């Protein structure tokens, strides 16, 4: 297995992407993120409610800016979740990301292993993880989140060798990877995540790389599914991440068109998710910066 921390690398790329912007653009983004911190130290979701998942991206961005704005409130907010006992899988994963990138505070060593234990609650009989509780089979997304969470927590992944076999049973009818087991058509994010995981396990990825390349839209970005009429930031960045490791030569070929697409999503204070979006978003801003950094 490759000795790479994918989320740390994603974070480092976001820092590079941020530094590639003009000073004025950097200031606008930093102001937007800092002004988005709620009184309790969290960041809100689209329903304007405190949300740990969204907060994890905001906290990573604060680290990139080396910001000390409301640092005590942010730490207090995270500490109320303790070791993740009452959290679902997605939020346990978000908690692991938050603590890795919360530059002003950290947990006791034992707490990291205790948080990691919660990930196993969503381990399935096929050796993979599913973000939904009580499911018989794992998913690509759940497994991707689990691997990144274990890395964020500096913990060894239990029975890591089961990942390859489990993934082989998740291919869609078109031989890519769909959202769930038995999907008719592959999705770009799922196939990109699977490509990254297979590369991590040192398994062949050539077919999936070729499939991903075909999902590029004329605007330079990548479609979430082939039926979509426009690209989106997150699908595009997941492809960039997969190609960076599994097929760097292919990434070089498309870097200029991908860069053009990502920059077209930039507004005054951040990035939107796709061309129909009118509002910037913390998560999409983090993703777009990481994408720009990976192709810098």
Q: What is the pLDDT of residues 108-160, one digit of tens each?
A: 999 999 999 999 999 999 999 999 999 989 999 999 999 999 999 999 999 99
Which is nearest to 166 in space by CA: 197, 192, 188, 196? 197
- For residues 108 and 147, what is the distance between their CA atoms, to the nearest angstrom? 21
Q: What is the pLDDT of residues 223-277, one digit of tens each?
A: 999 999 999 999 999 999 999 999 999 999 999 999 999 999 999 999 999 999 9
Question: In the prediction, which pLDDT does 3 show?
Answer: 76
Question: In the prediction, which pLDDT does 2 show?
Answer: 60
Which is nearest to 226 in space by CA: 172, 289, 279? 172
Q: What is the pLDDT of residues 32-57, one digit of tens each?
A: 999 999 999 999 988 889 999 999 99
Which is nearest to 239 in space by CA: 275, 280, 190, 198? 190
Q: What is the pLDDT of residues 197-217, one digit of tens each?
A: 999 999 999 999 999 999 999
Q: Report, in angstroms and rounded to the nearest whole number, the Rg of the chain calculated over CA atoms.
A: 18
- For residues 9 and 241, what is the distance between their CA atoms, to the nearest angstrom? 9
The full DSSP string for 169-195 is T-B-TTSSB-SSTT-SS--HHHHHHHH
- For residues 168 and 219, what is the distance between their CA atoms, to the nearest angstrom? 32
DSSP three-state, residue 46? coil
pLDDT band for position 188 (cuts 50, 70, 90) = very high
Q: Which CATH number fits domain 171-296: 1.50.10.20, 3.30.470.10, 3.40.225.10, 3.40.50.2020?
A: 1.50.10.20
Residue 275 gets which letter from DSSP? T
Average pLDDT, the chain: 96
Question: In the prediction, which pLDDT does 181 show?
Answer: 87
Residue ranges of domains in the chain: 36-159, 171-296
Question: In the prediction, which pLDDT does 1 show?
Answer: 55
pLDDT band for position 182 (cuts 50, 70, 90) = confident
């Amino acid at each position: 297995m490759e000795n790479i921390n994918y989320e740390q690398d994603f974070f480092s790329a976001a820092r590079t992407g941020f530094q590639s912007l003009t000073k004025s653009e950097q200031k606008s983004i930093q102001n937007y993120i800092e002004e988005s911190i709620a009184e309790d130290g969290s960041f809100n979701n689209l329903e304007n409610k405190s949300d740990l998942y969204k907060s994890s991206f905001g906290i990573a961005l604060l680290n990139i800016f080396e910001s000390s704005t409301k640092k005590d409130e942010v730490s207090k907010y995270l500490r109320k979740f303790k070791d993740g006992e009452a959290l679902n899988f997605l939020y346990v994963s978000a908690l692991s990301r938050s603590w890795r990138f919360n530059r002003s505070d950290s947990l006791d060593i034992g707490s990291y292993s205790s948080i990691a234990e919660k990930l196993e609650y969503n381990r399935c009989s096929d050796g993979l993880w599913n973000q939904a509780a009580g499911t018989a089979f794992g998913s690509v997304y759940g497994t991707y989140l689990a691997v990144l969470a274990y890395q964020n927590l500096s913990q060894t992944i239990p029975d890591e060798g089961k990942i390859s076999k489990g993934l082989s049973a998740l291919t869609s009818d078109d031989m890519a990877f769909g959202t769930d087991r038995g999907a008719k058509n592959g999705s770009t994010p799922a196939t990109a995540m699977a490509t990254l995981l297979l590369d991590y396990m040192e398994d062949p990825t050539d077919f999936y790389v070729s499939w991903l390349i075909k999902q590029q839209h004329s605007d330079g970005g990548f479609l979430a599914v082939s039926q979509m009429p426009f690209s989106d930031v997150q699908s595009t960045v997941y492809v960039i991440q997969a190609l960076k490791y599994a097929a760097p030569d292919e990434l070089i070929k498309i870097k200029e068109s991908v860069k053009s697409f990502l920059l077209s999503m930039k507004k005054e204070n951040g990035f939107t998710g796709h061309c129909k979006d009118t509002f910037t978003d913390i998560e999409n801003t983090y993703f777009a910066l990481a994408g720009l950094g990976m192709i810098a």
